[in-house]
């Protein structure tokens, strides 16, 4: 939830750290801080609020050190304040630490340290880290090269919970030690510089060569070297990975906001996600999977587990897999799944969807499924992310870096990939005719062009946003696949416009929610399934009768006269229609947020990557 960056090299660290923090601000933005090594002393500057407050602090431009760590915070323990901001130091100011994650047993450790004479100045869980490192450092009687590392390791082995930690010390002006467990941290490497970050895009402009860390791998960095150790401090080998994304894709490229840019990147994201997997008259290619007919036909169930928008993509996967493959699919929210003792065995396939690949609940659900002997398959947008390293199999969306907190291109790419997966399963299982699947493949291949077509609704949506941006409640309706889009559209609206909104299966309205419909309320409906349109239109009629004003997103010829506003989108196969029908509704959320003068990319209380439970 927080963002951490680090630098060790030949240049002044502070400007590089501040630039990295600005790129990571989507992960948390209630306070920020930096610590560098200045002539064998640790500097420490931090403040409440955005990174720009930190950049304006007196004296920050005087920092000369070439090694430093920095942090942008999303508060978990202790309110946003200067005292609670990172970096944190031990009482003797020997160690500076930044931390992303939660130390669950911090109370116990804090009491232990209090009993040993330490004092605490913040309400954070993090402050135990530098003090515990100091405790282990001073207790260690050996004075060898590994003393600093041993102190960090001994402290970390006492932590319960999740952490990505960077540590510097005034006693070791050429070193930085980093480690992670269930929280993201990557190391970018160049000849005489090392860049550290919670995610790859923040440091892509410096390097494309990255070390990806597994849990409890300890790293000792100098500007020219990176030495890796396991938790017993045995040295281990690690290769760099080359990341294909380019730095440009992590910049705004002339758009006002990342969200708008990412909405407009959807034709490319879908094209890249389809890649070479789909072509007419040849079978889908998923070399990395290799599932047999025997394995798939013996499955008793598939679970799709995810959070938020990724879960909504999972719902469209259920629709496709059940209809094309006739395997029962259950879709679950990861935070519920992990605590409800799900019925899983070796005949269950568990699919986990996560843009970031770092969502704590999704990772925990995956670990649980593995314990129960299911095969696990990760769908992620980030190569080498935690979820992909835990899963038995991984496949990737190729949406490129998604920076805006509100997910757009990641969602449509997830819907795309899970539909391709469903086709692959159907081909292995031989549950559909080739001609039927060919029709669907043809529609898939036409999607990028149709997305471009759909994006032309931009101006009409902008106008509609002007009409409704002051509303207090908005309702979204749909049936079948359109109901899954209603859920996603409703989430998008509430997270960036702060308007209360809800989504309903259109047929369910009369069982209660219709009591909320009153004069002039906005009801937005999605109509793309020819078999269900008449039924949904009847439900819309019911809200019109009660005074609602209506916006319709449809790809079918319908009588427009009864609705206030109709957005026509290109027709396509029902399975993949969410990829088109969500676009006007992503734009609607965006323009309403703009009308209200809100920060679209960094909505209040939210973070891009939810690495805490
Ligand atoms: O990185 P993930 O896909 O695992 O993230 C899951 C959710 O936190 C995420 O989709 C969230 O709901 C978005 N902010 C929605 O726009």
Q: What pLDDT shows up at residue 250?
A: 64
Helix residue spans in 293-408 (DSSP H): 293-297, 308-325, 334-337, 360-371, 386-390
Regarding the beta carbon of 310 and ligand 1, being less than 6 Å apart is answered yes
> Tens digit of pLDDT for each residue in 308-341?
999 999 999 999 999 999 999 999 999 999 889 9
Compute, in angstroms, the gap from residue 259 CA to the centroid of ligand 1: 14
Mutate to test the pocket of ligand 1, among 309, 366, 589 (most ligand atoms within 8 A of CB): 309
Q: What pLDDT shows up at residue 609?
A: 74
The residue whose CA is least distant from atom 11 of ligand 1 is 308
Regarding the beta carbon of 381 and ligand 1, being less than 6 Å apart is answered no
- The region that residue 172 occupies, defined by phi over 0 for left and psi between -120 and 50 for alpha, beta otherwise, is beta
Three-state DSSP string of 60-104: HHHCCCCEEEEEEECCCCCCCCCCCCCCEECCCCCEEEEEEEEEC
Regarding the beta carbon of 311 and ligand 1, being less than 6 Å apart is answered no
Considering the candidates 153, 375, 409, 608, report the single residue annotated as catalytic. 608
First to last CA, the chain: 10
Q: Which atom of ligand 1 is nearest to the CA of 408?
A: 16
Q: Residue 453 in 3-state DSSP? A: helix
Residue identified by tokens 């269900």 is: 532
Q: Which atom of ligand 1 is nearest to the CA of 608?
A: 14
Regarding the beta carbon of 319 and ligand 1, being less than 6 Å apart is answered no
Q: Which atom of ligand 1 is nearest to the CA of 406?
A: 16
Mutate to test the pocket of ligand 1, among 608, 610, 611 (most ligand atoms within 8 A of CB): 610
Regarding the beta carbon of 308 and ligand 1, being less than 6 Å apart is answered yes
Compute, in angstroms, the gap from residue 409 CA to the centroid of ligand 1: 12
C-alpha closest to that of 608 among 409, 270, 358 = 358
Compute, in angstroms, the gap from residue 411 CA to the centroid of ligand 1: 9
The residue whose CA is least distant from atom 7 of ligand 1 is 308
Residues with Cβ within 8 Å of residue 455, at least 6 apart in sequence: 263, 264, 266, 267, 583
Rounded Cα distance, 252 and 270, in Å? 19
- 425-441: b (≥16 Cβ within 10 Å) or e: bbbbbebbeeeebeebb
Q: Residue 251 in 3-state DSSP? A: coil
Q: What are phi and psi of 577, to 5 degrees?
A: -60, -30
- 264-287: b (≥16 Cβ within 10 Å) or e: bbbbbbbbbbbeebbeeeeebebe
Rounded Cα distance, 247 and 356, in Å? 18
**Given a cut of 80, is residue 444 above it in pLDDT?**
yes
Regarding the beta carbon of 354 and ligand 1, being less than 6 Å apart is answered yes
Q: Contact at 8 Å (CB) between 613 and 5? A: no
Rounded Cα distance, 505 and 493, in Å? 17
Regarding the beta carbon of 97 and ligand 1, being less than 6 Å apart is answered no
**Given a cut of 70, is residue 110 above it in pLDDT?**
yes
Rounded Cα distance, 474 and 300, in Å? 39
Compute, in angstroms, the gap from residue 267 CA to the centroid of ligand 1: 21
Rounded Cα distance, 351 and 361, in Å? 14
Over range 535-542, report the average pLDDT: 91
Regarding the beta carbon of 408 and ligand 1, being less than 6 Å apart is answered no
Considering the candidates 2, 156, 350, 432, report the single residue annotated as catalytic. 2
Rounded Cα distance, 481 and 463, in Å? 27
Over range 248-266, report the average pLDDT: 84
Q: Which atom of ligand 1 is nearest to the CA of 411?
A: 10
Compute, in angstroms, the gap from residue 310 CA to the centroid of ligand 1: 6
Integer CA distances (angstroms), 216 to 156, 180, 262, in order: 8, 6, 34
Regarding the beta carbon of 314 and ligand 1, being less than 6 Å apart is answered no
The residue whose CA is least distant from atom 8 of ligand 1 is 308
> Tens digit of pLDDT for each residue in 195-231?
999 988 889 889 999 999 988 999 999 999 999 999 9
Q: In the chain, how long is the greatest CA-to-CA distance? A: 84
Rounded Cα distance, 318 and 305, in Å? 11
**How many H helices and E strands in the chain?**
18, 26
Over range 334-357, report the average pLDDT: 94
Rounded Cα distance, 176 and 95, in Å? 10
Q: What pLDDT shows up at residue 37?
A: 97
Compute, in angstroms, the gap from residue 356 CA to the centroid of ligand 1: 8
The pair of structure tokens assigned to 530 is 């020819």
The pair of structure tokens assigned to 367 is 């670990």
Regarding the beta carbon of 493 and ligand 1, being less than 6 Å apart is answered no
Burial of residue 288 (CB within 10 Å: 0-12, 13-18, 19+) is: exposed
347 is catalytic: no
> Tens digit of pLDDT for each residue in 397-417?
989 888 899 999 999 999 999
Regarding the beta carbon of 407 and ligand 1, being less than 6 Å apart is answered yes
Q: Residue 26 in 3-state DSSP? A: helix
2 is catalytic: yes
**Given a cut of 70, is residue 249 above it in pLDDT?**
no
Q: Which atom of ligand 1 is nearest to the CA of 609?
A: 1
Compute, in angstroms, the gap from residue 414 CA to the centroid of ligand 1: 12
Regarding the beta carbon of 55 and ligand 1, being less than 6 Å apart is answered no
Sign, CA dihedral 322-387-240-404, equals: positive
Over range 91-114, report the average pLDDT: 94
Helix residue spans in 455-570 (DSSP H): 458-468, 481-497, 533-545
Binned at pLDDT 50, 70 and 90, residue 182 comes out as confident
Compute, in angstroms, the gap from residue 407 CA to the centroid of ligand 1: 6
Regarding the beta carbon of 309 and ligand 1, being less than 6 Å apart is answered yes
Three-state DSSP string of 119-166: CCCCCCCCCHHHHHHHHHHHHCCCCCCCHHHHHHHHHHCCCCEEEEEE
Compute, in angstroms, the gap from residue 160 CA to the centroid of ligand 1: 25
Binned at pLDDT 50, 70 and 90, residue 1 comes out as low
Please state whether the peptide bond connecting residue 80 to the residue before it is cis, i.e. omega within 30 degrees of 0. no
Name the least confident of 84-93, 152-161, 272-281, 585-594.
Answer: 272-281
Residues with Cβ within 8 Å of residue 513, at least 6 apart in sequence: 475, 502, 504
> Tens digit of pLDDT for each residue in 12-45?
999 999 999 988 877 767 889 999 999 889 999 9
pTM, to two decimals? 0.76
> Tens digit of pLDDT for each residue in 450-491?
999 999 999 999 999 999 999 999 999 999 999 999 999 999
DSSP element (H, E) containing 228? strand 226-229
**Given a cut of 70, is residue 132 above it in pLDDT?**
yes
């Amino acid at each position: 939830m927080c963002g951490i960056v680090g630098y060790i090299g030949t240049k002044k660290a502070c400007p590089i750290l501040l630039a990295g923090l600005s790129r990571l601000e989507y992960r948390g933005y209630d306070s920020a801080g930096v610590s560098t090594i200045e002539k064998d002393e640790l500097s420490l500057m931090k403040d409440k609020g955005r990174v720009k407050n930190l950049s304006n602090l007196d004296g920050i431009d005087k920092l000369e050190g070439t090694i430093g760590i920095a942090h942008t915070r999303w508060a978990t323990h202790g309110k946003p304040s200067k005292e609670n901001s990172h970096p944190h130091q031990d009482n003797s100011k020997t160690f500076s630490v930044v931390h992303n994650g939660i130390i669950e047993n911090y109370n116990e450790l804090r009491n232990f340290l209090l009993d040993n004479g330490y004092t605490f100045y913040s309400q954070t869980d993090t402050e135990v880290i530098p003090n515990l490192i100091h405790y282990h450092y001073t207790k260690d009687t050996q004075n060898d090269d590994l003393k600093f590392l041993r102190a960090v390791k001994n402290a970390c082995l006492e932590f319960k919970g999740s952490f990505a930690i960077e540590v510097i010390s005034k006693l070791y002006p050429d070193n930085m030690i980093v480690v992670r467990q269930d929280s993201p941290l990557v190391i970018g490497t160049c000849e005489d510089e090392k860049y550290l970050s919670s995610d790859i895009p923040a440091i892509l402009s410096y390097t494309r060569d990255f070390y990806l860390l597994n849990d409890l791998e300890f790293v000792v960095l100098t500007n020219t070297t990176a030495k890796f150790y396991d938790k017993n401090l045995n040295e281990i080998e690690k290769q760099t990975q080359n990341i294909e994304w380019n730095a440009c894709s992590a910049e705004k490229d002339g758009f006002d906001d990342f969200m708008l840019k990412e909405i407009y990147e959807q034709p490319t994201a879908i094209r890249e996600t389809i890649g070479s997997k789909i072509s007419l008259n040849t079978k889908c290619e998923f070399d990395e999977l290799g599932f047999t007919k025997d394995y798939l036909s013996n499955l008793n169930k598939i679970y799709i587990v995810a959070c938020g928008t990724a879960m909504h993509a999972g719902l469209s996967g259920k629709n496709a897999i059940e209809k094309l493959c006739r395997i029962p699919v259950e879709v679950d929210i990861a935070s519920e799944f992990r605590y409800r003792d799900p019925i899983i065995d070796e005949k269950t396939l568990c699919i986990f969807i996560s843009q970031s690949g770092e969502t704590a609940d999704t990772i925990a659900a995956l670990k649980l499924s593995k314990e129960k002997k299911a095969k696990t398959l990760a769908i992620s947008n980030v190569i080498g992310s935690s979820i992909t390293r835990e899963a038995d199999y991984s496949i990737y969306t190729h949406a490129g870096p998604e920076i805006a907190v509100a997910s757009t291109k990641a969602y449509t790419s997830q819907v795309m990939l899970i539909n391709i997966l469903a086709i692959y399963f159907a081909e292995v299982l031989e549950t559909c005719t080739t001609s039927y699947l060919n029709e669907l493949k043809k529609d898939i291949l036409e999607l990028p062009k149709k997305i471009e077509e759909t994006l032309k609704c931009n101006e009409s949506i902008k106008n509609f946003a002007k009409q409704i941006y002051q509303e207090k409640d908005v309702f979204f309706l749909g049936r079948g696949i359109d109901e899954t889009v209603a859920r996603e559209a409703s989430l998008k609206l509430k997270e960036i416009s702060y308007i209360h909104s809800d989504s309903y299966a259109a047929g369910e309205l009369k069982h209660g929610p219709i009591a909320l419909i009153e004069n002039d309320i906005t009801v937005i409906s999605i109509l793309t399934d020819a078999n269900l349109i008449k039924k949904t239109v009847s439900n819309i009629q019911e809200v019109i009768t009660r005074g609602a004003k209506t916006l319709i997103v449809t790809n079918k010829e319908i009588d427009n006269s009864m609705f206030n506003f109709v957005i026509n989108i290109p027709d396509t196969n029902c399975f993949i229609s969410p990829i088109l029908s969500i676009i006007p509704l992503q734009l609607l959320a965006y323009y309403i947020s703009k009308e209200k003068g809100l920060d679209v990319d960094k909505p209040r209380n939210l973070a891009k990557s939810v690495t805490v439970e």
